[in-house]
Amino acid sequence: MVTANPLRNASPPRSLHIALWVLQSALGVALIAAGAWKLSLPFDQATAMFPWAADVPALYTVTSILDIAGGLGVILPSLTRVAPRTTVFAALGVVLLMLSAVVFYLLRGEPSETVPNLVLASAGGIVAWGRWRGAPIRAQLPVPTKWTSPLPDAAPPAEMRLYQLPTGTYRTRAALAVAGGAVTEQRAFAATAVLIQHPKGDVLIDAGFGAGAEAHIDALPSFRRAPHELADTASTQLSAAGYDRKRLLGVLLTHSHWDHVSGLDSLDVPIWMTAAERKYAAQSKSDPVFETVSRGHEIEEYPFDGPSYLGFPSSYDFYGDGSVVIVPAAGHTTGSVIIFVTVPSGQRYAFIGDLTWQLDGITDRLEKPLMMRMLADSDAKQVRQDMERVMALQDHLHVVPAHDMRGYQGIPLLKPSTVDAR
């Protein structure tokens, strides 16, 4: 019977982890290099060096390809943390391949040829054991220490309300959304604005898709485009509900990426953002949408001049009553923020923007896939730290990743009857 040892699994010895990485990389690179070299040899040279290749040429080609496959299998799943357990099977495959070669050489009466194979088989065995038992690579982030201190004070006025304004969705694959996600699984990404009604003035969190969303998508480089379905814009939904625009103080951005700001094209209100995000947007090369839609808007910069908040180093209390508190989370972009909202019922929300794209990022402790961390996040380490902070808070609040429709469940839609007539 195999019983998991959670303590050991949670924090494998660092030295073993590093030693395994060195061995694993060396083994992988050696196999890939050997396989590629063998395949690149002209056949007469190959047979001169490996006399058996003349007897069984197909075996020569097949084993060279298996060398390369084994080398990739030993390195890639661990490196990408996509199905990292595959490393164990790849390493066992290498052991099997090398032992077969040993037997083959012995049968041919060439025992001296078996040395490299025995060395590689041993390395494969150590890697397989190490990544199985000693220091397995986890696709998941470690379990963070739960938040146990009292929650910060919040005095949301009784009239405060929260509404969701879904403006459409775009489709992507789970494999591109969370580490270990399936290539075959489709995910619909929400583009939803959230309206906070407050006696001191209302604010939207992000703006969703705008009237010019198609043009905005066309302006993106092709790798950022995805199949999408557009719904009513936030502006249209506000009008349909008979909403009084004079109440709207502006749009509070989680960050400036196109799918969060597109709707600014039809909202003539100030944009609330940090100086850092303004700078990020100005320097963005692959996303020109903010530049286009922010023209003519007043920009209200706010400082993180408040105390540390729920594990984050500083904060900005938007209304001064603790109901809407913004904290820096400068990992997805260099000026990203998280917006904590407490409503009169006492329910707390964390609008985390694109810290994770999907809720399983937080509930299952899954980072974005490696490639997306590299392409889409400014500072993957900061993202990880902020994910850990949010994961620690899960028991106390409702986490809303900007693009997960599940996150918005329970937040009512804006309908004529839900806009109070004050």
Where do contacts with Zn ion occur on this chain (CB under 5 A)? 257, 259, 354
Decide whether 64 or 254 has the Cβ nearer to Zn ion: 254
The minimum distance between CB 237 and Zn ion, in angstroms, equals 19
Of 32 and 253, CB closest to Zn ion: 253
Q: How long is the chain?
A: 422
Q: Which of residues 74 and 207 has its CB atom nearest to Zn ion in the complex?
A: 207
**Residue 127 or 352 with smaller CB distance to Zn ion:** 352
Closest CB 402 distance from Zn ion, rounded Å: 6
Work out how close the CB of 176 gets to Zn ion at its nearest, in angstroms, rounded to a whole number.
13
The least CB distance from residue 301 to Zn ion, in Å, is: 21
Q: Got the DSSP string for 24-70?
A: HHHHHHHHHHHHHHHHHS-HHHHHHH-HHHHH-HHHHHHHHHHHHHH
Instruction: Count CB atoms within 10 A of the CB of residue 261.
Output: 31
> Considering beta carbons, is residue 272 or 319 the nearer one to Zn ion?
272
Q: At closest approach, how far in Å is the CB of 274 from Zn ion?
A: 17
Quick one: 235 or 262, whose CB is closer to Zn ion? 262
Cβ atoms of 277 and 335 within 8 Å: the answer is yes
Dist. CA 277–CA 251, nearest whole Å: 14
The least CB distance from residue 316 to Zn ion, in Å, is 21
User: What minimum distance in Å lies between the beta carbon of 267 and Zn ion?
Assistant: 18
Closest distance between Zn ion and the C-beta of residue 332, in Å?
Answer: 8
The residue whose two tokens read 């929260």 is 162
Of the candidates 157, 376, 390, 163, the one whose C-alpha atom is nearest the C-alpha of residue 286 is 376
Report CA torsion sign: 371, 373, 391, 278.
negative
Nearer to Zn ion, 78 or 294 (CB): 294
CB of 30 to Zn ion, least distance (A): 41
User: From residue 284, how far is each of 122, 277, 278, 279 by CA, in Å?
Assistant: 49, 10, 10, 9
Nearer to Zn ion by Cβ, of 124 and 331: the residue is 331
Would the CA dihedral through 82, 88, 92, 95 be positive or negative? positive
Q: DSSP assignment of 152-214, as one string?
A: PP----TT-EEEEEEEEEEEEEHHHHSTT--TT-EEEEEEEEEEEE-TT-EEEE---S-TTHH
Beta carbons of 126 and 372 less than 8 angstroms apart? no
Whose Cβ is closer to Zn ion: residue 35's or residue 353's? 353
Distances (CA, A) of 145 to 5, 12, 61, 318, 390: 18, 17, 52, 28, 11
How many C-beta atoms surround the C-beta of residue 239 within 10 A?
A: 13
Question: Residue 67 or 277: which CB sits closer to Zn ion?
Answer: 277
Closest distance between Zn ion and the C-beta of residue 409, in Å?
19
Sequence-distant (6+) residues with CB within 8 A of 30 are: 71, 120
Rounded Cα gap, residues 361 and 24, in angstroms: 28
Which is closer to Zn ion, CB of 265 or CB of 321? Answer: 265
| Nearest distance in Å: CB 405, Zn ion | 14
Dmax (CA) of the chain: 95
